[in-house]
Chain A
Amino acid sequence: MNIAVLIKMVPDTESRLEIVDGKVKEDAFKYMVNPYDEFAVEQAVQFKESVGGKVTLVCLFSDNPGIDTDLRKMMAIGADEAVVLRQEGYRGDKPSTNSKILAEAIKELNADLVIGGVQGIDYYQGATGPMVAHHLNIPHISGVTKLELNGEKITAKRQIEGGLQIIESTLPVLVTAQKDMTKVRFPALKDIMMSKRKSFENRSVSASEENDVETIECSLPPARDGGLIIDGESPEEKVDKLLEKLKMEAKVL
């Protein structure tokens, strides 16, 4: 079974967000593997371990080599190879452009299953997965909390409002992972050593299509000031004052 895993590199969650001239200042960003994508890697490796096959990581990013170590960590989990698509001017907020490029690379892999994370924790559009599936002309199932492989079929549990949608699909299909899908293992030292010898291909690519919406201005949301600390002699008094405020001042009760 050939499995392709979509990996997005996203700014570290502790990154300082500063706006200069309506744009987010990005030059000091450090990048990490999108946390949802790690669940996808783990799931792909588990399937490979049970039925055999190959797991290929496909990552689209800029020329910045600073991400290689983190990608190697994903290989230590058990992925077999990585194809890193290097695009000048890559941006994480262009799902239409990016999905087209990713789909081109995945076509060559003859993947039975494509797995990615449900969304990038940079722009939260959750768009790349469904768009890649469209370009590959295969169905997709997003936000999956449990994925089972039975022969030529998969069964997925997809989180929806108030419950789970249980979906069966033939292969090939694209699935995006929610956090509960797997528990990501800590690779053993020997796997970390081994990962250094695995195939890691850098390939330059360029964008062919532009349907993405251009952002004209970024801003920081109005800062929330620390509010009112409610004093009182006793828990009763504090709660009474709080309820009074919620009803009369904030009008939310």
Chain B
Amino acid sequence: MSSILVIGEADGKEIKNISQQVSAVAAGMGDVVGLVMGKNISDAGMKLATAKIILADDDKLEYYDPVKFTSVVSQIVEQNNITKILMGATTMGKDLGPRIAAELRWGYLGDCLEAGSEGFVRPAFAGKVLARSNPEGSVVVSIRNNAYPAGESWSGSVENFSGNIPDSTTNTISIEKGGSGTVELTEANIVVSGGRGLENPENYDEHIRPLASVLNAAAGASRAIVDAGWVSHSHQVGQTGKTVTPDLYFAIGISGAIQHLGGMSGSKCIVAINKDPDAPIFKVADYGIIANLFDIVPVLKSKLSN
């Protein structure tokens, strides 16, 4: 019988929540084999919510490398009669998925919002269109964070990968952490974004970051303020930035241009704070406050801190 391979990712001693979400989706589709690759990932890997777990724990796999990881995956696919590969649409998943698909000559579906035995739905045009497919052939699929609830870990059978890991001509020298305590935009349950209504970068630091920190949220931005150099592009939400789907999204001093909406309109609940009643952001917001943000945000922050 054919099986589904779930590629999980370790985050220290834990398995990423997105990997558990993917495992839960896969469980509804057939027999599941899990795979976690890395160095010292065995403790985390054993928590993956799949019946069978393969651990590729090796010094050579310390850092993500598309060539090495693709090779490990294709060896496992061959040995286990795999016909579908599922993974989270993380920076690794979105990079690895297409490379594996090319190697195996399978189809690829990136960043899916829905996945199941009835087929897949993925966004096009920054989520302004949904494209449904139901491939008969083998596919590699990456699934967006927060699209499904996470599966619970259970004690499945564990095997160690014993195949061969090729050398690669790329070499990771180090990982630079981007500021301690910052929550990653695409993984956050709450996102607090600021726009040009903040008037200057100091106000972003004074109003947006602290509000985000009180809520344990990620801090996002419109392109206008990224282009103005207030914050780096890694904060940008929208068609040419990141697509986020948190439970709660705050748009503060953001007009709601179509390119911004593309990156956040999949959020479960949207709150807009803007002084212009005609700002397009109110058309997508679940809750709107028409007011000067400098009057509202400090109150909001202090009430949330209590």
Which residues of chain A have a CB within 8 Å of any CB of chain B?
A: 11, 13-15, 17, 19, 24, 35-36, 93, 95-96, 99, 121-131, 133-135, 139-143, 145, 155, 157-170, 173, 178-180, 209, 211-221, 224, 226-230, 235-236, 238-240, 242-243, 245-246, 250, 252-253
Q: Which residues of B contact A161 (CB under 8 A)?
A: 90-91, 184, 186-187
| Contact, CB under 8 Å: B125 / A224 | no
| Contact, CB under 8 Å: B169 / A170 | yes
| Contact, CB under 8 Å: A230 / B169 | no
| Contact, CB under 8 Å: B287 / A242 | yes
| Contact, CB under 8 Å: A165 / B172 | yes
Q: Which residues of A contact B108 (CB under 8 A)?
A: 95-96, 125, 127, 131, 212-213
B window 249-285: CB within 8 A of A: 258-259, 265-266, 268-271, 277, 282-285
Smallest distance from the beta carbon of A235 to chain B beta carbons, Å?
4
Chain B: how many interface residues by the 8 Å CB criterion?
Answer: 94
The 8 lowest CB-CB distance pairs between A and B, nearest first, are A127-B98, A134-B102, A213-B107, A227-B286, A169-B170, A125-B110, A131-B102, A252-B248
| Contact, CB under 8 Å: A180 / B233 | yes
Other-chain residue from B103, B168, B277, B296 in contact with A139 (beta carbon distance below 8 A): B168
| B54 within 8 Å of A (CB atoms) | no
A224→B264 CA distance, assembly (Å):
12
| Contact, CB under 8 Å: B97 / A127 | yes
A80→B257 CA distance, assembly (Å):
36
Smallest distance from the beta carbon of B91 to chain A beta carbons, Å?
5
Contact (A159, B103) CB under 8 Å given A127-B98, A250-B269: no
B window 74-131: CB within 8 A of A: 90-92, 94-99, 101-103, 105-111, 119-120, 123-131
Contact (A169, B269) CB under 8 Å given A157-B176, A221-B127: no
Q: Which residues of A contact B135 (CB under 8 A)?
A: 213-214
Smallest distance from the beta carbon of A29 to chain B beta carbons, Å?
10
| Contact, CB under 8 Å: B124 / A217 | no
Other-chain residue from A126, A179, A219 in contact with B95 (beta carbon distance below 8 A): A126
Quick one: closest B residue to A228, CB to CB?
B287
| Contact, CB under 8 Å: A252 / B178 | no
Q: Which residues of B contact A130 (CB under 8 A)?
A: 66, 95-96, 98-99, 102
Selecting from B22-30, B32-40, B234-242, the interface stretch reads B234-242
| Contact, CB under 8 Å: B130 / A220 | yes
Q: Which residues of A contact B109 (CB under 8 A)?
A: 125, 213
Q: Which residues of A contact B169 (CB under 8 A)?
A: 139, 169-170, 173
A-B contact pairs, 28 of them (CB 8 A): A95-B108, A123-B124, A124-B110, A124-B126, A127-B97, A129-B98, A131-B99, A142-B94, A142-B95, A159-B91, A160-B64, A163-B177, A165-B172, A166-B175, A168-B172, A211-B107, A212-B107, A213-B109, A215-B133, A216-B119, A216-B133, A219-B130, A220-B129, A226-B288, A239-B300, A242-B287, A250-B286, A252-B268
Q: Which residues of B contact A140 (CB under 8 A)?
A: 66, 95, 99
Query: Could you say which of A13, A36, A159, A218 has the most chain B C-beta atoms within 10 Å of its C-beta?
Result: A13
Beyond contacts A169-B170, A252-B268: 14 other A-B pairs, Cβ-Cβ < 8 A, are A24-B129, A95-B108, A96-B102, A142-B95, A166-B175, A167-B170, A167-B173, A211-B101, A215-B131, A215-B133, A216-B132, A224-B283, A227-B270, A239-B303
Quick one: closest A residue to B9, CB to CB?
A161
| Contact, CB under 8 Å: A166 / B98 | no
Question: How many A-B contacts are there with CB distance less than 8 Å?
Answer: 256
Quick one: closest B residue to A129, CB to CB?
B98
| Contact, CB under 8 Å: A221 / B130 | yes
Quick one: closest B residue to A242, CB to CB?
B287
Smallest distance from the beta carbon of A213 to chain B beta carbons, Å?
4
Smallest distance from the beta carbon of B39 to chain A beta carbons, Å?
14
| B150 within 8 Å of A (CB atoms) | no
| Contact, CB under 8 Å: A226 / B101 | no
When each residue 26-59 of chain B gets 1 if its CB lies under 8 Å from chain A and 0 otherwise, what string results? 0000000000000000000000000000000000
| Contact, CB under 8 Å: B173 / A96 | no
Smallest distance from the beta carbon of A140 to chain B beta carbons, Å?
6
A15→B277 CA distance, assembly (Å):
25
